Structure 1
Amino acid sequence: MLDFGSKDLGIPIIMVIFGLVLRFKPPSKINSFYGYRTTRSIKSQEAWDYAQRRIGGLWLYTGTILYIAINISLLILPASKESLSFIHGGIGIIALIIWIPFVQKELKEKFDEDGITKN
């Protein structure tokens, strides 16, 4: 039976929540409390704002797809719950971090070393 409270759904739910926050209500100023904090993203307020919105959108989209995919896999795959939990956890961790190099590349292309928008 499908368990919507399943621990398998923890990472996708976190991705959706943080995706919504970072996409639509990101931290307004560079801070050390929360947000997408990398060397490139904290170079300027403009780079910071871009990085928050970008990773937020990616996590929102990926978390939603992952949530749906995990629920479907729980319904149709004949593997044990333990095996599926292990697989879902691994995929969830990968989904969380896979976008970091892409956002970093975009920041490098869009902003110079001082965080100023390139022309």
Structure 2
Amino acid sequence: MKFILKILLTALAVVVLATFLPGVTLTNGYTSAIIVALVLGILRVTVKPLLIFFTLPATIVTLGLFLLVINAVIILLADYFVAGFAVSGFWIALLFSLLLSLFQSILYSLLKEKKEK
């Protein structure tokens, strides 16, 4: 149940960001946003660990800032795989990934349950 809520919250964040960012477009609306959320989840689980492993020296030298580039590459890969989602360039993908991470952390904090002592 929590997985479905996270996908829907990510889709909501994608719709909001596509509305406000000039270089990001969604042609089919909410269905494309849900597909983008699913594809991003799959890419983050499969491709991102491989990219982190192969770019570990660059990540260490840049003190972890290269992970931002990896997130932008994941967004560009999602753009490639989803027909109704378009990102105009690398810098827009970088900004989109930063804002998406910010929105996800805010929205996911709403899902956290209060721990009782």
Using structure 1 for the length normalisation, give the TM-score: 0.40
| Structure (1 or 2) with the greater helix fraction | 2
* Structure ranking higher in strand proportion: 2
Q: Rg: which structure is higher?
A: 1
| TM-score, length-scaled by structure 2 | 0.41
